[in-house]
Homo-oligomer: A and B are copies of this chain.
Amino acid sequence: MKARVFVMLKDGVLDPQGAAVQHALGGLGFEGVEGVRQGKVIELDLAKGTTEETVREMCEKLLANTVIESYRIEMA
């Protein structure tokens, strides 16, 4: 089975990567880009029967830094 974890910086946390992308898009002539935030997707191939609870534990312990990042889990 598969799980997908999305990790984004929390609102209010400075995102220099996102700012760099926004600046670069402007430089390439794309107009109307009002904001860019960049985050991570982590796709996990898991043994059958792994619960969302286990994935949540992985997020809390390793995948996300919950002080500055929020995460969202999608089981598939």
Cβ contacts A to B, 17 pairs, < 8 Å: A8-B41, A8-B43, A18-B42, A25-B58, A25-B62, A28-B62, A30-B58, A32-B46, A32-B47, A33-B46, A33-B47, A34-B45, A34-B46, A36-B42, A36-B43, A36-B44, A38-B40
Given A24-B62, A47-B31, A54-B30, check contact A41 B42 (CB 8 Å): no
Contact residues on A (Cβ < 8 Å of other chain), bracket: 20 to 34
**How many subunits of this chain does the assembly comprise?**
2
> Is B21's CB under 8 angstroms from A63's CB?
yes
A: residues with CB less than 8 A from B are 6, 8, 18, 21, 24-25, 28, 30-47, 50, 54, 57-58, 61-63
